[in-house]
Homo-oligomer: A and B are copies of this chain.
Amino acid sequence: MNQLSERAQQVLEAVVIDHIRSGEPVGSRTISKRHRLQVSSATIRNVMADLEEMGLLQQPHTSAGRVPTEKGLRFYIDSIMKSKDLEAQEKRLIQQALKDVHRDLATLLQKTSKVLSGFCKQAGVVLWPKLTLTRLKHIEFVRLRAHQIMVILITKSGLVNHVVLHWEEDVDQDELDKYGRYLNDIFKDMTLGEIKERIIQEMKNEKNLFDELYSKALKMTDQAFESTFESSELYIEGQLNLINNPEFSDVDRLRHLFQAFEDKSKIIRLLDLTLSKASGVKVILGTESSLDELYELSIISSPYKRGDTLLGALGVIGPLRMDYSRIVPVVEFTAALLSRLMEEPE
């Protein structure tokens, strides 16, 4: 299927680029006037008819120009598109924006999401680091009231997570402090994933059953982890940008759009896909996501990492008609930058 003649590729590229810019169907005359193709509109028409037969282009109606199909876009992105490099100026702007918020992880991620949306004029998304992969800095137990204990996990990257547990027994604060000191010693600097494993092992180990303090502390942590691991959060910023796209000037579509965003879990699952695969920017077009809600949206995403560990993902969500050649490098650069920021000194 990669067997497209040189000219056909040029025509497809022209249609895609023009359509991305204008949002309108592109006619043969418009293309023949772009200098690079030195052929008449009639010739272009023939090529276009071929491309349509192959399913790469389509006509909204008989007497309209052509619009790239999803398949056409896919081909363009995979085989034709040349990503523009970001200008040094732009890189500097992005770096600048993320420089001063380094302190607090939550703020940093939210800001990253804003930067993505701002630079691409679409919605920016950032998925929190997977907790399993982050390292424990500190664990703390606080007695809120009888039978209610708050467990606070702080990771090295500065992420704070808290869970309120319902506990049968009423444990006083002094004892909870002991748990804390105890566990901090053992688990410090391990990833939460490792800790989870370890807890399971230790709980199986019969001899630990006799060390009441240790055994209770383990049980409590285990329970806390249970609720913690589910909560994978996502920042979405710049949804407003999407409204400005002419494809959403129809209220019904707009409603659809916001419905897609309302339930973040779907998008989270999609971004998780980016995570499981090797690193690098990934583009998911419309129906490729197999999610009804996203059928006319596409996602450009990339994981960010610390060292070799993939932590989370970030990206841009927008209509199918986006300037991929610009957004791909923006996402790529931002992911690399965030990865660098995730390297922990000390």
Contacts and interface: CB of A to CB of B under 8 A. Distances in A.
Interface of A: 103-104, 137-138, 140, 142, 144-146, 148, 150, 152, 154, 156, 158, 160, 162-164, 166, 239-240, 243-244, 248-251, 254-255, 258-259, 262, 344-346
A155 to B, nearest CB: 10
26 contacts: A103-B148, A103-B166, A104-B164, A137-B144, A140-B152, A142-B154, A144-B158, A145-B345, A145-B346, A146-B346, A152-B152, A152-B160, A160-B160, A160-B162, A239-B258, A240-B255, A240-B262, A243-B251, A243-B254, A243-B255, A243-B258, A248-B251, A249-B251, A250-B251, A251-B251, A254-B254
A162 B152 CA distance: 11
A164 B158 CA distance: 8
A98 to B, nearest CB: 16
Interface of A is mostly: mixed
Kindly name the residue among A166, A243, A344 whose own CB sees the greatest number of chain B CB atoms within 10 A. Answer: A243
Please provide the 6 A-B residue pairs with the shortest distance between their CB atoms, ordered closest to farther: A145-B346, A138-B142, A103-B164, A160-B162, A104-B164, A243-B255
A150 B153 CA distance: 12
A279 B137 CA distance: 44
Contacts of A162: 160
Given A162-B160, A259-B240, A346-B145, A140 B137 contact: no
Contacts of A137: 142, 144
A255 B163 CA distance: 37
B344 A145 contact: yes
Contacts of A160: 150, 152, 160, 162
Contacts of A251: 243, 248-251, 254
